[in-house]
Structure 1
Amino acid sequence: MPLPPISRRIVGQILIDAALVSVANLVSFLLKYGPPALSPSDGHLRIVLVTLPVLVILRVLAFGMLRLYRIRWRYMSVHDLKTVAGATTLSSAIFAVSLKLWGFGQASAYSWSMQIIDWVLTICLLSGVRIAYRLWSDRSLEVTTQPRQRALIVGAGDAGEAVARELLRSPAQGIVPVGFVDDEPKRRGGRIHGLPVLGTTHDIAALTQKIGVEVILIASPRTDGKTLRDIVSRCESVPARLCLVPGIPDLIESSSAAGISRLTSIRAIKIEDLLHRDPVQTDMAELSGYLSGQRVLVTGAGGSIGSELCRQIAALNPARLLLLGRGENSIFEIQQELIREFGIAPTAIIADVKDRNRMEEVFLTERPTVVFHAAAHKHVPLMEANPSEVVSNNVLGTRNVAEIAAGCGVRKLVYVSTDKAVNPESVMGATKRIGEQIVSSLSRQYPGTEFAVVRFGNVLGSRGSVVPTMQKQIARGGPVTVTDPQMTRYFMTIPEAVQLILQAGAMGKHGETFLLDMGEPVRILDLARDLIRLSGLRPDLDIKIEFTGMRPGEKLNEELLYASEARRPTAHAKISVSESEPPSPLLLPAVDRLIRLASEGERDTLRDEILKVARGDVPYAEPVFAGGTPIRR
């Protein structure tokens, strides 16, 4: 019965090692005693021939004990060569003791000097054959007919070295490294795997033209967003493709079946990389404490924030996850994703938060214990033209959800707000501010329910937001439109924002407003230029940028706090809480009036009234809000 391939490989290695050990031993004998000692009558030779099988067996056993035969020669490393030396030393020591016990000590053929010569030759032969095999394997891999792109590696540290090594050994990647650039002075002028460190990141453009670089690989795991943006801007005039290698942990993926290492994380730079911040540290124990085993309802579950909330909550083992939204397609998609990825069976609920009777039915039937209210209209210019709809959805919907949740004894409600709620100029921002005040007001009326408000800025990649819009404009060949060259916005990634929403939700008790650390604001013009560069195009040359002027409801710069609000830190480094005066006791009557105006279609009056209520100007108004039927507890 033929041996399996791996057994044949090991047998082959054992036979080669046995031959090399024998050669080393005989050569050391010749070096010690010279050719005359080869005479059959020489007693030294007889001793060597008798003991040689024992030496071979000891060495092979030592190699096996130290798992040397599990190592494929093609992937021999310095660490593996140390193992060869260690196994040889161990077997030599055991053999020397055996000789002493047999009486073949210093006076025999095996003097100390011969044993030392044998030890050195054995290590050299075993290591040399393995190194030669690896060099031959690497050389054979370089023979390929596939065209390979010339790559310049940014970063000559450990990550850069690993990238160069793997690319040199993996021609199937279609990339051949030609050199490095690095801003560390001590690395300049050096060579790594035969490749020169050609200069600094300031030289990228010139080097790209000079040596014909087609791909620029950024292999520096500690590169922050600002540095990455600088590198991208320096590459603005070159046609080379920009790619990123996140770092050593993400660089090499080992195939468990064959033990083969290959590059898996070289990818195009994303706009999120240019906003790089330290990873969010989440207290999983705290999150599990209020979500694990609970019946969790997410409104707006089909949206960008709502769907990511569902993904992260699903990982925390809720007793039941309820997905509520009015768009059947988006709710179906997130439901199927959760079934596929998490193996849970979430409940999909098609409902509109504006419909109080339907919301009461949902709460009374499903009995959620934790609610995340993410349903909202968010498009600023669009809502300027539709103030009645934004009041119905963002104000009436929020009041419905919050009041019914509290009336049904929900343990915790988290309201997802926006930085546009601070000193709002738009009806969208104003309605979100009113939503904050509704939650704050109800937290005083219903002490049995814990309320929290989470306020943050734009999220990258959400539907209808600036980044997807610009990407579509670039795909069409431009122009990319920017409203004002000085406009700035705060940005976060969607997963980052949701992690902090969940963490802030654990802290909220009495309607506090939590603020998420979003770093420094980003100029929209810089964002547009970066997106064009990352698409392999040149701003103003390949893709034009046009300034269209600020749209209705937009502000030049967003804010995080009102002047009357004080900001204090929390136990989480990226979350703070604002301290502000409680809302006016006349808030809810004023909200009633807004809802009535919206239902009557009083568009001209409605916009002014929305902004007044949001700014705290709430003159007495008779309650006219027609709530649904009394909540049945």
Structure 2
Amino acid sequence: MTGRFLNYLIGLSRSRKRAVLMLVDAALLAVSFFLAMALRLDGFTPALSPPSWLAFALVLPCTLLLFRLMGLYRAVVRHVAGRTVQVLAFGLAVSALLLLLSAKSFGLFLPRSVPAIYWLLAMGLLGGARFGLRALYRHRLARLKARVIIFGAGSAGRQLFATLEHGGDYAPVAFVDDATELQGRDIGGLRVFSPARLPSLVAEHGVECVLLAIPSATRRQRRNILERLEPLGLRVQTVPGLSDIVSGRAELSEIREVAIEDLLGRDLVPPRQDLLDANIRGKSVMVTGAGGSIGSELCRQILSQRPSRLVLLELSEFSLYSIDEELRDLAKAESPETVIVPLLGSVRDRSRLEGALRHFAVDTIFHAAAYKHVPLVERNPVEGLRNNVFGTLALAEAAQTAGVKAFVLVSTDKAVRPTNIMGASKRIAELICQAQSGLPGETVFAIVRFGNVVGSSGSVIPLFRKQIEAGGPITVTHPDITRYFMAIPEAAQLVIQAGAMARGGDVFILDMGEPVRIVDLASRMVRLSGLRPVVSEAGGASRTRVKGDIEIRFTELRPGEKLFEELLVGDGAHPTAHPRIMTATEMAMDWPALEGLLGRLSAVCERHDLPAIRHLLHEIPIGYEPSGAIVNPCCEAPESTPLTGAPAQSSATA
């Protein structure tokens, strides 16, 4: 009976659990007050004195409100700890004091010792109830493991079953597999069923989770399986992919959350080794922004192509230290002959750049250093322009002077008809590379433009995971907002190959696949965590009558944010030798004309003249159409308009 009741409580939504807990607390507080009166007055009948209960009735709602404000009902009972006791002790002390003050203020009968006795009894009852529930839950866990179905009855599924049989938190109850020749067989005492039997198996065995044991499946196959599992409302986890197992980065018995790449369901195209080698193998390569999301992955993939030297340029000391340590460990196995050189510095330091390029005889530069987070750059426009525009200019000129052979600019879809400072700065950086390619010199410039990468700094994916783990809400800026997504390893691999195809001033565009509605992505992540999403109305009003575990709440578009991102400025893209890389003919400027505009831009940035910056960005032919007023970082308010609030956490990556 106790186990059934505990199962019922655990199955409630978070909002209902909070409501039940508040009702239980109200009842226990009433019992505490009654017993306190009875103990003080030596009897139960005097304890029912109406004036005394009037004082308690005044204090009870205040006590529950105080508990709520102190976060007592946000704490999960199964994880109750010392912090909960501290909150209870303080909250009940305030409640006891309010009890005494209300009785005195309204002239109600209440013995002075009752509040102290009430505090002691309430601590015992409310604290004891919570620790008792925690003990029951832990006892239940000790008795019963989570019941799971293993999807995949091949060798990986059988090895996983053997591992779980000898320990762990899971109890397999069945196999499921698409292979008809395996269906109906028994493996280790478990029957193999068709996926069509999943709903009945879940209901029959009380299954809580499905474990995917199909490491060799393609992403498209995994996506199809996940789409079939979504309606079941189960948590879905997976074993590592085949590449991770073969390389030794993971073991088959490791169980992980489903990777976002599986949700997007796009298979990798095998790389062309000749393109990977062209600018890297046996050469001296520099990566700027080497500690960032794209920069660090570029470094890993470049290292695997065995350059003679890999120069890491990074402004952040910690990021440089982290990637340097990681690459040195990786080099021992993949490229022991490569010399790794960590350089702490800024791409705006022209003399340091030129000295480093000459000293290390750099052949190829991958320029990934940039300020990329849209709201932050929007609120710090001068620094964004200095770093993204004049950092690119300093590096491009230093590359020309030092005789660098290849220069690859990592750009963004936000550079296309930009509505924000970050996008405008990256489009100007593209113009710089195009203009520099028309000057005399050995350097071949290339621009590679693509959209959001999964898991980058500022990316929506880690944010959503964190919000799901915290119990919600998930914040999305707009119901219709969409974004292109690409895995970081795929993006870095394509950047390297695109750079090798450059002839000078080329603009390459990566095939990002189909755009994804962010609210759909959030809903899928919730469902595959075994929870139910509930979508709020636009504007933030929650549809409280709809049942759900995790709320998806719409906020508002951030300064400079678009609903839809584009990859092309012009009319069309043309195919290249690689199926995922296209090239486009974009508007360019000759160097003398651009140089004059850059000089003026530098001057207004030096003066922090924000209206002049806005005017000049309109004058430069980049299609800049801002969605709001430019932001003054000194007072955190837009020019001529009040700042309505801090930037909401949103669905767009930087």
Task: Give the shorter-chain TM-score range.
Answer: 0.5 to 0.7
Q: Secondary structure at the match of 2:521?
A: helix
Write the distance in 1 (CA, Å) between the matches of 2:615 and 2:247.
59
Q: 1:441 to 1:542 in 2, by over 3 A?
A: same
Q: Map 1:548-563 onto structure 2 (within 5 A).
A: 548-562=555-569
- Contact 2:177 2:194 survives alignment (8 Å): yes
Alpha-carbon contact 1:187-1:197 (below 8 Å) kept: no
> Judging changes above 3 Å, is the alpha-carbon distance between structure 1 residues 402 and 245 closer, same or farther for their aligned structure 2 residues?
same
Which residue matches 1:450? 444
> Are 1:575 and 2:572 counterparts?
no
Matched, 1:178 2:173: yes
Distance in 1 (CA, whole Å) between partners of 2:378 and 2:560 is: 7
Q: TM-score, normalised by structure 1?
A: 0.67
Whole-angstrom distance in 2 between the partners of 1:613 and 1:200:
58
For residue 252 of structure 1, report the CA deviation from its aligned partner. Answer: 9.5
Corresponding residue to 2:418 among 408, 413, 424: 424
Q: Is the 8 A contact 1:483 1:548 kept in 2?
A: yes
Aligned to 2:377: 383
| Cross-structure match for 1:323 | 312
Match of 1:593 in 2: 600
Matched residue, 2:236: 242
Cα displacement (A) at 1:472: 2.6
The residue that corresponds to 1:278 in the other structure is: 267
Does structure 1 retain, via aligned residues, the 8 Å contact 2:209–2:530?
no
Correspondence list, 1:40-439, <5 A = 149-155=146-152, 159=154, 162-164=156-158, 167=161, 171-174=165-168, 175-181=170-176, 190-193=184-187, 195-200=190-195, 204-220=198-214, 221-222=217-218, 224=220, 226-236=223-233, 238=234, 241-245=235-239, 263-264=252-253, 266-343=255-332, 344-439=338-433
Please report the TM-score for the alignment, with normalisation by the length of structure 2: 0.65
Give the direction of change, closer, same or farther, for the CA distance of 1:616–1:164 in structure 2 (3 Å limit).
closer
SS at match of 1:544: strand
The one of 467, 473, 488 equivalent to 1:494 is 488
Q: Which amino acid aligns with 2:461?
A: V
Q: Distance in 1 between matches of 2:360 and 2:160?
A: 54
Q: Deviation string for 1:96-144 (max 9, x for gaps)?
A: xxxxxxxxxxxxxxxxxxxxxxxxxxxxxxxxxxxxxxxxxxxxxxxxx
In structure 1, what residue type is equivalent to 2:616? Answer: E
Q: Which runs of 5+ in 1 are unaligned?
A: 1-144, 255-261, 618-633
- Contact 1:253–1:263 (CA<8 Å) still a contact in 2? no
Question: Does the aligned pair in 2 maintain the 1:270–1:534 contact within 8 Å?
Answer: no
Distance 1:222 1:527, change over 3 A: same
Residues 216 and 242, structure 1, Cα contact 8 Å, conserved in 2: yes
**C-alpha distance 275-427 of structure 1, shift in aligned 2 (>3 A):** same
- For the 8 Å contact 1:460–1:493, the answer to whether it is kept is yes
Aligned mates of 2:245, 2:209 — CA distance in 1 = 17
The 2-side partners of 1:530 and 1:183 are apart by 22
Provide the residue aligned with 1:544 in structure 2. Answer: 551
After TM superposition, give the deviation of residue 412 of structure 1 in Å. 0.4
Conservation of the 8 A alpha-carbon contact between 2:156 and 2:213: no
Q: CA 1:219–1:369 in structure 2 vs 1: closer, same or farther (change >3 Å)?
A: same
TM-fit CA distance, 1:334: 0.8
* Residues 1:604 and 2:611 aligned together: yes
1:517 aligns with 511
Q: CA contact under 8 A between 2:219 and 2:267: conserved in structure 1? A: no
Task: State the 1:501 CA deviation.
Answer: 0.7
Deviations 1:225-264 (A, max 9, x none): 642442352133x4xx31224677878999xxxxxxx943
C-alpha deviation, 1:464, in angstroms: 1.9
Give yes or no for contact 1:153–1:216 (8 Å, CA) kept in 2. yes
Answer with 414-423 or 286-295: which moved more.
Answer: 286-295
How far residue 492 of structure 1 moved from its aligned partner, in angstroms, is 1.0
Q: 1:345 to 1:248 in 2, by over 3 A?
A: closer
Structure 1 residue 206, shift from structure 2 partner: 4.7
The residue identity in structure 1 corresponding to 2:309 is R
Count of matched residue pairs: 457
Select the structure with the greater relative contact order (CA < 8 A; seq sep ≥ 6). 2
Q: Secondary structure at the match of 2:305?
A: coil
> Could you say which residue in structure 1 is the equivalent of 2:82?
none
Q: Secondary structure at the match of 1:210?
A: helix
Question: Following the alignment from structure 2 to structure 1, what is the Cα–Cα distance between the partners of residues 382 and 243?
Answer: 52
Q: 1:321 to 1:248 in 2, by over 3 A?
A: closer
Unaligned stretches of 5+ residues in structure 2: 1-141, 333-337, 535-547, 625-654
What secondary structure, in the 3-state scheme, does the structure 1 residue paired with 2:362 have? Answer: coil
Taking a change above 3 Å as real, the CA distance of residues 301 and 614 of structure 1, as seen in their structure-2 partners, is farther
One-letter code aligned to 1:289: A
Residue 149 of structure 1: CA displacement?
4.0
Note the alpha carbon deviations across 1:412-466, whole angstroms, 9 max, x for none. 0000001111111111111111111111111111352111111111111111221
Secondary structure of the residue that 1:417 maps to in structure 2?
A: strand
Instruction: Say which SS state the counterpart of residue 398 (structure 2) adopts.
Output: helix
The alpha-carbon deviation at position 411 of structure 1 amounts to 0.5
- Which deviations, in whole Å up to 9, do the C-alpha atoms of 1:466-491 show, x marking residues without a partner? 12222232333321110011111111
Give the letter aligned to residue 365 of structure 2.
V
Identity %: 44
- Structure 2 distance, partners of 1:376, 1:213, is 47
